[in-house]
Amino acid sequence: MTSKILNTLNKIGDELSNLIEEIEKSENGSSVTNNDKESNSENINLVQLQEKIKMLNEQLTSHKNESTLRFNEYEKRTNDIANDVYYISEDIEKLIHGDKSESLLNETQTLKSQKTNHTADNNKSKPNRTSIDLTGKKVMYGSKPNSEGAFISSSMSETDKKGKYYKFFLTDEDNAYFEFLNFGDNVLNATDSPEKFIEPACNSLEELDQRAKKIITENHGIVNKKGELWFIIEKADIRYE
Residue 201 scores a pLDDT above 70: yes
Residue 148 scores a pLDDT above 50: yes
Domain residue limits at 215: 128-240
Q: Is residue 37 part of a domain?
A: no
Mean pLDDT for the stretch of residues 56-76: 70
Q: Is residue 123 part of a domain?
A: no
Are 9 and 87 in a shared domain? yes
Residues 70-83 have pLDDT tens digits of 666 666 666 566 55
Query: Which of 106-110, 167-171, 213-217 is predicted least confidently?
Result: 106-110
Residue 157 scores a pLDDT above 60: yes
Note the pLDDT of residue 119.
Answer: 46
DSSP for the chain, please give it.
Answer: -HHHHHHHHHHHHHHHHHHHHHHHHHHHHHTT---HHHHHHHHHHHHHHHHHHHHHHHHHHHHHHHHHHHHHHHHHHHHHHHHHHHHHHHHHHHHHSHHHHHHHHHHHHHHHHHHHHHHHHHTTS---GGGS--TT-EEEEE----TTSEEEGGG-BSS--TT--EEEEEEETTEEEEEE---TTHHHHHHHSHHHHTTTTEEESS---TT-S-EEEEE-EEEEEETTEEEEEEPEEEEE-
Are 138 and 229 in a shared domain? yes
Average pLDDT, the chain: 76
Residue 38 scores a pLDDT above 70: no
Are 91 and 135 in a shared domain? no
Are 156 and 207 in a shared domain? yes
Q: Is residue 142 part of a domain?
A: yes
How many domains does the chain fold into? 2
Are 162 and 205 in a shared domain? yes
Q: Residue 220: pLDDT band by 50, 70, 90 thresholds?
A: very high
Are 87 and 156 in a shared domain? no
Are 132 and 233 in a shared domain? yes
Mean pLDDT for the stretch of residues 37-60: 68
